Amino acid sequence: MTPIAIALSLAGLVALATVLGLAWRATTGRVSTRSGGARAGDLVTEPGSRATLLQFSTEFCAPCTATRRILGEVAATTPGVSHLELDLTARPELATRFGILQTPTTLVLDPAGVVRGRIGGAPRRETVLATLAGLSASTP
């Protein structure tokens, strides 16, 4: 290949990787309503009176640690909200049950244990708080 062709190939590769990175960044940590309506109450021994933040983690998961910290802080400072973290490495059947494709994945449960929102990747604190606010607004 000519030097120009090589340079263009390398630039194209970097551009492709950048596009992939931006696409990932646009979707990670955001709330979706996928699997809304699914029931997860059986997994939670101490549900929150307003909401439960159910976090699925694995070993070897760097973002899970940051997520645990953020969700833990939200649960500690927001009344009625509890945080539970489950390790999929020990219970892989849960990954199939909820279609977990990345960790961390956080399911936001209402007091009845029904999934009302789902966050893939490490969420930002504001995202979690906004989701909880929306949950309270729509729950009778």
Partner 1 sequence: MTTTSRPTLAARPEQRGIDPRGPRFSAGITAVLLLVVIGLALATPLGGTVADRATDPAFLLLAALAVLFAVGAFAGVARHPYGWLFRTFVRPRLAPPIELEDPAPPTFAQGIGLFVSLVGLALHLAGVPLGLAIAASAAFVAAFLNSVFGYCLGCQVYLLLVRAGLLRTRTENP
The site for partner 1 (CB under 8 A) is made up of: 1, 3, 5-6, 9-10, 13-14, 16-18, 20-22, 24-25, 45-46, 48, 57-66, 68-69, 71-72, 75-76, 82-92, 95-96, 100-103
CB of 27 to partner 1, least distance (A): 11
SS3 32: strand
Contacts of 83 (CB under 8 A, 6+ apart): 52, 53, 55, 68, 71, 72, 74, 75
Smaller CB distance to partner 1: residue 121 or 134?
Answer: 121
SS3 62: helix
Tell me the CB-side half-sphere exposure of residue 126, using CA atoms within 13 A: 0
CB of 63 to partner 1, least distance (A): 6
What distance in Å separates the CA atoms of residue 56 and residue 37, rounded to the nearest whole number?
18
Smaller CB distance to partner 1: residue 101 or 137?
Answer: 101
Smaller CB distance to partner 1: residue 87 or 127?
Answer: 87
CB of 53 to partner 1, least distance (A): 9
Contacts of 23 (CB under 8 A, 6+ apart): none
CB of 117 to partner 1, least distance (A): 19
